[in-house]
Structure 1
Amino acid sequence: MNSAITDEAQEPVPEGKIALDQIPFGPFHFKVTMMTFGANFSDGYALGIIGSALPMLAVQWHVDGFWQGMLASSALIGLFFGSLILGRISDRIGRQRVYVLNFILIAAASLAQFWAPNVETIFVLRLLIGFGLGADYAVGPTLLSEFAPRKSRGLMLSSLTVLWTVGYVLANVIGAYVNVGPDTWRWLLASGFIPALFVLIVRIGSPESPGWLISRGRGEEAAAIAEKYLKTGNIFIPAAHVEEKSSYRELFGPALRKSTWFGILFYSCQVLPYFAIYTFVYTILEAMKVSDANAQNLLINIFLLAGGVAGLWAIARFPRKAFTFWTFVIMTVMLALLGLFAEASPWLMLIPFVVYSFVMSAASNITQVYPPELFPTHLRGSGVGLLNATSRIASAIGTFLLPLSLEKWGVSVSMYWLSAVLALGALVTWLWAPKTEGKRLV
């Protein structure tokens, strides 16, 4: 294969033609965004609900710290394999089939949790949920980026994380205030079936990515989709395309390895503290001697939502690199202060906690924007899948280690090492982050 053929080696758009990402934002762009961030809502809900259900399950079944960590990280482990495998498959067979079929698995495994007879079964079911979600972390932003107009791409992609946060926060609120008896945790876990089924239904009939079709030399099919769904009959079909199978090795070749390593490290450093802290937020608040953990957790979740919305504006306003670097710096300082104030008044401790929550939620929007912009079309699913896979393994490690760290060393030390992870993310961003805003993807 000619590995020199990438999206950067693009021919100019002839007069009278329009590039795929120059088509103005229209009704179908809105629809495909809705279909994709509906899945992110479902993803956030599925991953958030375990944090609420786990304390109840642990009491009823006398689950030890090891299995609590395994259950908390199970979906993240599944996400690793789902993103890695299904992201790669989407580069081979197309985005659309993976985009639809993964939610059959998610819906079925979510519902089956209601009848789980033991911890091991829940672990396996949540692995399957994570495997299906992994497809969406890889394929969802990839497909959306290949439909998105260049000027609207940042907003469309960053909106995915906002809806993820809405699902995550809603799961926390429902978990805190819904109580239907000793089996409440079963109802909570199985409730993930509802948004998953909705997403599955609305995605049926969605089209293939024209960008992927162009990258495979199937320009006529891409033009037909553009005419039917995007209402334009003069789409420009570039001559350059991939004729042979691409290789994972290209991601670490001279042309892409800097982008690949930046993506792996920045994404992993950002989400490791996020998942660890918010999965065990009640444990952290209890260790800080907070008397009304529900009230303070609700306040934290309000700041999570506000930060997600503020992040939409910030990504549209600031360069990707600057936004990513400075949010890392602020989060690093806030977790360090949280460690410093761990033995202080709970309300004093709450200040860095809510600032961290606000900035983290805003910063999380970039994790849907940067990855698809780092890779050429013929490797975009593989690259985005790899970044999501490695970030979820980092999240699983953090989620597994945090309860052990809290038990052995306490809150202060735990916050300090999580702060160090964020500091590494800031350093990697400063050294390696590329400029991708305004980049043509197809």
Structure 2
Amino acid sequence: MATSAEAPLIAHRGDADGPDNDGPQHQDDSYADRSTQDGEPRGDGDRKIGLFMWLLAISAGISGLLFGYDTGVISATLVSLGTSLSGRELTLADKSIVTSCTSLLALVASPLSSVLADRIGRRPVILLADVLFAAGALGQAYAGTVGQMVFGRSVVGAAVGAASFVTPLYIAELAPAAHRGMLVTLNVLAITLGQVVAYVVGWAFAGHEQGWRYLVGLGTLPAVLQAALLLGMPETPRWLVRAGRVAAARRVIGKTLGGSGIGAAGAAAERVLQDIRREVREEEEEGGVLRGAKGVRAWTEGWRELVTVPKNRRALTIACLLQGLQQLCGFNSLMYFSATIFTLLGFSIPTLTSLSVAVSNFVFTVAALLLIDRIGRRRILLYSIPFMVLGLLLSAGGFWFIKLPNDGLGGIPESGESAAAAAVTILTSMIVFVAAYALGLGNVPWMQSELFPLGVRALGSGLSTATNWSANFVVGLTFLPLMDALTPTWTFVLYAAVCVGGWGAVWRIYPETTGLSLEEATGLLENDWGVGRGGSSRARAGGR
């Protein structure tokens, strides 16, 4: 005989569209760990992250590791290719195309994968990305011409585009609200770890002829590992509810909350489930994206919802702003071309010098992991971006004292004490820039799924991720030409100006979502930009 605590669970089991049996006590409970009036999480929000949720986040984070490895590995590869491709040295144009083609395909893949994520689920898209990661890695390893290398990098780009969109979405839809920032940042940490690994492996193979082939081919191994782990990973409860699989969603929620499905843990899982069902029902009543829409119809309906519904339009504006700013600040120019930059500055082992930048990124991403849910998304951006500006301006000043040779980026600068001091200044300022980036702009934009309602969450996240890759493509294609045409000093000044403009936009329109459930966070944009009204009491202090 069922107890009273079990009764609501049994009442819904196996009936995806049956009547809600929530009593009045559930009507105002938006999430198991919803904030109280004083802004602090209550009840289940204080739960520690369960082992199952940690395993899911780490397993999904392998996509981030691949993302980071494949974006970081190109830096060491470019300085190791020699005449391996097409029997000649690569020109600046060759290097720019090999680098930027990854971003171009990621740009195409991210919105397309958002449609797939809505149709077939989040987990199958991760599996598809793994297949592309493995194929692209092998394609690069066996490349004999520049064209073949571009093809392999393009396949990897499609994988990166799908993974960069779907992995944060997958984790965000599984994570408890009080710990969502930390768990999504764990994926960003995996990205930075992948970059560190790429630089370490690049340094290890630096003296080996054709060692770059092993360097790019190693990306196959994590992809195969994650594909195997996917067999034990569930679909997200929010996608399951939209697909009518309520009982499966209930089981997943119970596991992610670390409970047994009965008693207090069962009640907490039921509150989460009812909140998701309520959002789905409200979207259907408001004429949201049609559940049965397919193909072009689903795409056009999704676009209509994003553009015509004010709160969705605001969410898309904020998400695209943050994703574009993340790239246009110039960070990935360091990831792609750091070895080239440090060669220009006269460092004897440029790949090893680049490693110091990657390690700084990793260390300060660990700090962000611990701070993001305490400080808040908005405030950590407002505090960190000014230090990014400082680092860029110091780099610009350092380059002012570097006298480049007549052949520009292709030669070695004149040596001397002033040049050596300027080189150290540039390295130090780049570390300051990267550290500040890692604390804020490197991870906050990937919280984008918090802003979108369920019905347009995948499409909105996919389109904003496409903005990221559009900007990434521009940076990858233009960085070396800008360094050559504007000089390094004015190139870094340009990036600093972008950061200043971005800080103003964040201050004006980005609300605090820390501590809110996904359903609560989307409500911030219902009538205005929601600045100063969301998040915990600590986070709100930074939003006023």
For the criterion TM > 0.5, the same-fold answer is yes
Deviations 1:40-60 (A, max 9, x none): 111101111111112222544
1:420 aligns with 2:505: no
> 1:284 matched to which residue of 2?
341
- 1:71 to partner: Cα distance: 0.7
- 1:18 to partner: Cα distance: 9.1
Measure, in 1, the Cα distance between the counterparts of 2:347 and 2:254: 58
Mapping 1:294-313, distance limit 5 Å: 294-313=351-370
Deviations 1:169-196 (A, max 9, x none): 1101211232463211211111111111
1:410 aligns with 2:434: no
1:259 aligns with 2:323: no
Mapping 1:91-106, distance limit 5 Å: 91-106=118-133
Deviations 1:15-46 (A, max 9, x none): 9x994775843122111101111211111011
Q: Is the 8 A contact 2:69 2:219 kept in 1?
A: yes
Measure, in 2, the Cα distance between the counterparts of 1:65 and 1:54: 10
- 1:295 to partner: Cα distance: 4.6
Shift in alpha-carbon separation, 1:180–1:339, aligned structure 2, 3 A: closer
What letter matches 2:125 in structure 1?
A: V
Q: Greater CA deviation, 348-357 or 144-153?
A: 348-357
1:40 aligns with 2:69: no
Question: Secondary structure at the residue paired with 2:81?
Answer: helix
Match of 2:198 among 171, 186, 209: 171
Shift in alpha-carbon separation, 1:137–1:250, aligned structure 2, 3 A: same
What letter matches 2:363 in structure 1?
A: A
Shift in alpha-carbon separation, 1:204–1:101, aligned structure 2, 3 A: farther
Question: Secondary structure at the residue paired with 1:342?
Answer: helix
1:14 aligns with 2:26: yes
> 2:6 matched to which residue of 1?
none
> 2:38 matched to which residue of 1?
none
Measure, in 1, the Cα distance between the counterparts of 2:190 and 2:448: 18
> 2:431 matched to which residue of 1?
354
> 1:269 matched to which residue of 2?
325
> 2:261 matched to which residue of 1?
232
Measure, in 2, the Cα distance between the counterparts of 1:419 and 1:130: 27
Shift in alpha-carbon separation, 1:305–1:50, aligned structure 2, 3 A: same
Q: Is the 8 A contact 2:92 2:480 kept in 1?
A: yes
- 1:156 to partner: Cα distance: 0.6
> 2:390 matched to which residue of 1?
333
Measure, in 1, the Cα distance between the counterparts of 2:115 and 2:89: 40
Measure, in 1, the Cα distance between the counterparts of 2:92 and 2:106: 22
Question: Secondary structure at the residue paired with 2:515?
Answer: coil
- 1:292 to partner: Cα distance: 4.8
Measure, in 1, the Cα distance between the counterparts of 2:201 and 2:518: 40
- 1:251 to partner: Cα distance: 2.1
Match of 1:250 among 294, 305, 308: 305
Measure, in 1, the Cα distance between the counterparts of 2:278 and 2:374: 34
Q: Is the 8 A contact 1:325 1:430 kept in 2?
A: yes
Let me know the Cα RMSD of the aligned residues: 2.5
- 1:375 to partner: Cα distance: 0.7
> 1:132 matched to which residue of 2?
159
> 1:116 matched to which residue of 2?
143
1:375 aligns with 2:452: yes
1:196 aligns with 2:218: no
Measure, in 1, the Cα distance between the counterparts of 2:353 and 2:235: 44
Question: Secondary structure at the residue paired with 1:255?
Answer: helix
Measure, in 2, the Cα distance between the counterparts of 1:12 and 1:349: 62
Q: Greater CA deviation, 224-233 or 390-399?
A: 224-233
Shift in alpha-carbon separation, 1:87–1:342, aligned structure 2, 3 A: same
Measure, in 2, the Cα distance between the counterparts of 1:59 and 1:357: 32
Q: Greater CA deviation, 385-394 or 230-239?
A: 230-239
Shift in alpha-carbon separation, 1:232–1:248, aligned structure 2, 3 A: farther
Shift in alpha-carbon separation, 1:365–1:33, aligned structure 2, 3 A: farther
> 1:5 matched to which residue of 2?
none
Q: Greater CA deviation, 193-202 or 215-224?
A: 215-224
Deviations 1:50-109 (A, max 9, x none): 111122225443221112101111221121112111022212332122122321121122
Q: Greater CA deviation, 324-333 or 67-76?
A: 324-333
Q: Greater CA deviation, 213-222 or 98-107?
A: 213-222
Question: Secondary structure at the residue paired with 2:306?
Answer: helix
Deviations 1:224-253 (A, max 9, x none): 433567642542333441552451232233
Measure, in 2, the Cα distance between the counterparts of 1:420 and 1:365: 18
Q: Which runs of 5+ in 2 are unaligned?
A: 1-22, 34-43, 285-289, 292-300, 402-420, 520-544
Shift in alpha-carbon separation, 1:296–1:117, aligned structure 2, 3 A: closer
Question: Secondary structure at the residue paired with 1:56?
Answer: coil
> 2:530 matched to which residue of 1?
none
Measure, in 1, the Cα distance between the counterparts of 2:515 and 2:446: 12
Shift in alpha-carbon separation, 1:96–1:284, aligned structure 2, 3 A: same
Q: Is the 8 A contact 1:145 1:372 kept in 2?
A: yes
Match of 1:161 among 162, 180, 188: 188
TM-score (norm 1): 0.90
- 1:365 to partner: Cα distance: 4.5
Q: Is the 8 A contact 1:259 1:433 kept in 2?
A: no
Shift in alpha-carbon separation, 1:373–1:291, aligned structure 2, 3 A: same
The sequence identity of aligned pairs, in percent, is 24
Deviations 1:386-428 (A, max 9, x none): 1111111101111110111122232101111121222222122
- 1:117 to partner: Cα distance: 2.3
Shift in alpha-carbon separation, 1:141–1:298, aligned structure 2, 3 A: closer
Shift in alpha-carbon separation, 1:14–1:406, aligned structure 2, 3 A: same
Deviations 1:248-280 (A, max 9, x none): 232233122222112112221122311112211
- 1:349 to partner: Cα distance: 2.5
Aligned residues: 432
Shift in alpha-carbon separation, 1:318–1:137, aligned structure 2, 3 A: same
> 2:76 matched to which residue of 1?
52
TM-score (norm 2): 0.74
Deviations 1:280-306 (A, max 9, x none): 112222333445534532332332222
Deviations 1:115-140 (A, max 9, x none): 11211112122111111222221111
Shift in alpha-carbon separation, 1:328–1:147, aligned structure 2, 3 A: same
Query: Which entry has the higher C-alpha Rg, 1 or 2?
Result: 2
Q: Is the 8 A contact 1:44 1:165 kept in 2?
A: yes
